[in-house]
Amino acid sequence: MAGFEPSRLQARAGQDVALTFVNADSQFHVDGGGWHQFRIEALNIDVRIAPKSQKTVNLGSLPAGNYEFYCDICCGGKENPSMRGVLEVRG
Ligand SMILES: [Cu+2]
C-alpha cells in the first residue's frame, strides 16, 4: 500500500526486461485484499501480484519509449499518485 518502490524504472530497448515484484501486503487489507497490479496499457501488460508474494515476469524486449504503469486494484487505483510510475526504455 506504500506504492511502487522504485517508481522509475530504466531498461534498454532490444534487450529482455525481467521485473521482480515483491508484494508485502497481506490478504487482510480491506482495499483489494492485498492484491496489487502492474499494468502498462500501451504494451498490453497486466500482471497481478498476490498478497505476501513475489513474482518475476519477463516482459521480453521492448521498443524505446516512456511507459506509464499503475496499479488499479487498491487505494483509489490509478488516480493515486503513489500507485503509478514510469518505465523508461532507451534505444
Ligand atoms: Cu496496488
Pick the CATH number of 8-90 from 3.40.50.720, 2.60.40.420, 2.40.50.140, 3.40.50.1370: 2.60.40.420
Domain boundaries, the chain: 8-90
CB-based contacts of 41-48 (< 8 A; 24+ apart in sequence) = 41/68, 42/67, 42/68, 43/67, 45/69, 47/21, 48/73
Q: In terms of Cα–Cα distance, which of 17, 19, 9, 23 is closest to 68?
A: 9
Determine the pLDDT at residue 75: 78
Ligand 1 center to residue 6 CA distance, Å? 14
Ion ligand 1 contact residues with beta carbon within 5 A: 36, 71, 74
How, if at all, do strands 8-12 and 84-90 pair? parallel
Determine the pLDDT at residue 19: 98
The pTM score is 0.93
Ligand 1 center to residue 33 CA distance, Å? 10
Ligand 1 center to residue 70 CA distance, Å? 8
Instruction: Give the C-alpha separation, 33 to 26, whole Å.
Output: 7
Ligand 1 center to residue 42 CA distance, Å? 19
10-residue stretch averages of pLDDT, the chain, 91 residues long: 94 97 93 94 97 97 97 88 94 93
For 42, list phi and psi in degrees, rounded to 5: -60, -25
